[in-house]
A and B are shown apart, each in its own frame.
Chain A
Amino acid sequence: MTVRDIVSTLEGVLLTGEELLDTDIKAACGADLMSDVMAFVKEGVVLLTGLLNPQAIRTADMMDIKVIVFVRGKKPPKDMVQEAQDNGIALIATKYSMFLACGRLYEAGLRSGGTRDIQ
């Protein structure tokens, strides 16, 4: 699935990252706590989050995650969009909740995610 497919599947708005529209995405991680994201070991990841602060961008940057989807109609402020743009990260806003956004992507064929053994 490409970033373009993610935007259309989520009826989303691309806030920055035109140049990434054809990037291939293989796995998804939905989380509001950034250390849960950093425990996620996959390549070609889209991050879905309700966390609207610059640490979402920085976490993605550290993890080489190129795409972030903000769920539930949340739209990041200008300085966050700027930081994402400076770091080559695409931002998408969607009206769908975390559950619906993940469900729609899964249904559209994005199936790879993380599993962890029960402690």
Chain B
Amino acid sequence: MKLHYEVPGDDLSLAGRASTEVKRALGRLGIDPVEIKRVAVAMYEAEINMVIHAGGGTAEADISPERVTVVLADHGPGIADLDLAMQEGYSTAPESVREMGFGAGMGLPNIKRNADDLHIDTALGLGTTVTIVIKLKTG
């Protein structure tokens, strides 16, 4: 099953819809709650990142019996130093974002901890594509 979403970049209060819908779809498929939570948290962090750092983008979830693959693509500024960005506590989020509950610098580390596979393809001025794979043992 393939699910596709446009993630608008202009309203943080609406962000998370794609992740919520993927979570519901996985629930209907009867997938293990622990695995669903890993998909949901990793995808939600990446979806929020796309909204607060990159002006929105697209999210695609591919669900098979063996794995869930989520691809989040944006045309934002890209990430200058990926190793630095992956470190816990590193954040370029401004105070306005912090007031909305983000900017701890924990999002990418949270994605990495929950994913079985994480690939980040980023280029300055062109954008970022985050690919998250979660394996399903129930499959």
Residues in A lying within 8 Å of B, measured CB to CB: 32-36, 38-39, 51, 53-56, 58-59, 61-64, 119
- A56 (CB) vs chain B CBs: closest residue: B101
A61 touches which one: B23, B33, B101 (CB < 8 A)? B23
- A80 (CB) vs chain B CBs: closest residue: B13
Query: Which residues on B sit within 8 Å (CB–CB) of A32?
Result: 101
Q: Is B106 an interface residue (CB 8 A)?
A: yes
For residue B91, give the distance in angstroms from its CB to the closest CB of chain A.
9
In the complex, which residues 14-55 of chain B have their Cβ closer than 8 Å to any Cβ of chain A? 15-16, 19-20, 23, 33, 37, 40-41, 44-45, 48
Bound together, the chains give a CA A56 to CA B45 distance in angstroms of 13
- B110 (CB) vs chain A CBs: closest residue: A38
Q: Is B137 an interface residue (CB 8 A)?
A: no
Interface size class of B (residues with CB under 8 A): 20 to 34
Q: A55-B13, A56-B101, A62-B20 are in contact. List 13 more A-B contacts (CB 8 A).
A: A33-B98, A33-B103, A35-B45, A35-B110, A38-B45, A38-B106, A39-B106, A58-B15, A61-B20, A62-B37, A62-B41, A64-B33, A119-B88
Q: Is B102 an interface residue (CB 8 A)?
A: yes
B-side binding surface: helix, strand, loop or mixed? helix
Interface membership of chain B positions 123-137, coded 1 if the CB is closer than 8 angstroms to chain A and 0 otherwise: 000000000000000
- Please tell me if the beta carbons of B101 and A62 are within 8 angstroms of each other in the complex: no
A-B contact pairs, 16 of them (CB 8 A): A32-B101, A35-B110, A38-B106, A39-B110, A39-B113, A51-B100, A51-B101, A53-B13, A55-B48, A55-B100, A58-B20, A58-B44, A61-B20, A62-B16, A62-B44, A119-B88
In the complex, which residues 86-109 of chain B have their Cβ closer than 8 Å to any Cβ of chain A? 88-89, 98, 100-107, 109
Q: Is B12 an interface residue (CB 8 A)?
A: yes
A54 touches which one: B13, B33, B106 (CB < 8 A)? B13
Bound together, the chains give a CA A54 to CA B15 distance in angstroms of 9
- Please tell me if the beta carbons of B102 and A35 are within 8 angstroms of each other in the complex: yes
Greatest chain B CB density within 10 A among A36, A53, A54, A62 is at A62
- Please tell me if the beta carbons of B110 and A33 are within 8 angstroms of each other in the complex: no
